[in-house]
């Protein structure tokens, strides 16, 4: 068996490249088709020692073979932009599929593992271009209206407008979401977009915060305020959610709250003690609570009812 030589292609440093790029760089044909080079997408090769069967590698391969008028779409685009969405399970036994769109009259690529659709000219705010072939964030959100539910659209939109307020990317403004819904009139899923839009709020740090807010409303409770200001002596803090009229704060402890161990726990405890010292009730929930929110919502209901009674007993000021 011929020993495999290293890929000697100066300038080609990406983990996934086009076969034509290897050819133009002088890599011999026999080397371009060796078994140590995985094929993420037909017409591409992964570098030696790179697993070309992963979602990330196959997405990179897909972006290399798209052409003007085609684009990565819906949940696939959202995943690349790190917009929180429900995602199918991954693993060796699960086929990897990508959602790809095209602006008519162009057609999406006819490839294995591609779920294709088309949009009319003018639906997208701008036609995606190389190298990423990704629509603008507001358009990615609108494209997902065809394939995800209203709650997931609210979660994604909360994330996007919260990102842009924090000057982080990718994000978009609420007005850009409104504009996208107008442009998608007549498209599949626009009804879900219109239902989701009035429920979108900014100041959200994580998807569970949106889920808790929506579940509280479904339970008949008043809508909690996102990024709720809590004035403490000498400093204004912000709870994830809250009811300032009753001084009730809701805090979600996600996985990131435990990444720094005791130091992070100390910071969280001191922060919440400052809120309690200022006369606020602080309710804390974790990912375990999200599996069944009914006990937490029952506890929240009791706190609200108690606060209402106390407020009523105090009378007008």
Contact, 70 vs 108, CB < 8 A? yes
pLDDT less than 70: residues of the chain: 1-6, 8-11, 88-94, 255-261, 315-317
Residue 64 neighbours by CB under 8 Å, 6+ apart: 16, 17, 18, 41, 43, 44, 131
Contact, 250 vs 238, CB < 8 A? no
Per-residue model confidence as pLDDT tens digits over 279-289: 999 999 999 99
Class of residue 195 by CB neighbours under 10 A (exposed 0-12, middle 13-18, buried 19+): middle
Distance (Å) of CA 215 to CA 27, 109, 229, 294: 58, 40, 21, 9
Tokens of 181: 């819904």
CA quadruple 193, 198, 204, 210: dihedral sign: negative
The per-residue pLDDT for 1 is 42
| Domains (range + CATH), the chain | 16-56 (no CATH), 66-81+99-199 (no CATH), 207-314 (3.40.960)
Per-residue model confidence as pLDDT tens digits over 1-38: 455 666 766 667 789 999 999 999 888 898 898 888 99
| pTM of the entire predicted model | 0.91
Per-residue model confidence as pLDDT tens digits over 133-153: 999 999 999 999 999 999 999
Contact, 248 vs 256, CB < 8 A? no
């Amino acid at each position: 068996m011929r020993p495999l030589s290293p890929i000697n292609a100066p300038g080609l440093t990406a983990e996934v490249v086009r076969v034509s790029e290897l050819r133009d760089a002088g890599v011999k044909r026999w080397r371009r088709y060796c078994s140590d080079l995985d094929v993420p997408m037909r017409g591409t090769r992964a570098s030696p020692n790179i697993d070309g069967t992963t979602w990330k590698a196959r997405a990179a391969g897909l972006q290399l073979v798209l052409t003007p008028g085609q684009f990565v779409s819906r949940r696939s685009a959202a995943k690349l932009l790190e917009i929180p969405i429900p995602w199918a399970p991954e693993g060796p036994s699960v086929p990897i599929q990508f959602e790809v769109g095209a602006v008519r009259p162009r057609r999406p690529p006819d490839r294995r593992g591609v779920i294709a659709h088309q949009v009319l000219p003018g639906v997208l705010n701008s036609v995606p271009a190389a190298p990423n072939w990704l629509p603008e964030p507001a358009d990615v959100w609108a494209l997902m209206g065809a394939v995800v539910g209203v709650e997931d659209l609210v979660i994604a939109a909360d994330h996007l407008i919260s990102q842009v307020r924090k000057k982080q990317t990718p994000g978009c403004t609420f007005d850009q979401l409104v504009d996208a819904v107008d442009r998608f009139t007549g498209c599949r899923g626009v009804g879900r977009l219109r239902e989701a839009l009035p429920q979108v709020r900014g100041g959200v740090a994580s998807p569970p915060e949106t889920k808790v807010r929506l579940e509280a409303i479904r339970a008949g409770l008043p809508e909690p305020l996102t990024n709720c200001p809590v004035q403490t002596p000498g400093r204004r803090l912000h709870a994830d959610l809250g009811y300032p009229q009753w001084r009730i704060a809701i805090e979600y402890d996600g996985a990131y709250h435990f990444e720094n161990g005791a130091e992070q726990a100390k910071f969280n405890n001191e922060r919440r003690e400052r809120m309690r010292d200022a006369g606020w009730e602080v309710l804390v929930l974790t990912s375990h609570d999200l599996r069944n929110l009914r006990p937490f919502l029952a506890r929240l209901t009791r706190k609200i009812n108690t606060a209402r009674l106390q407020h009523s007993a105090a009378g007008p000021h």
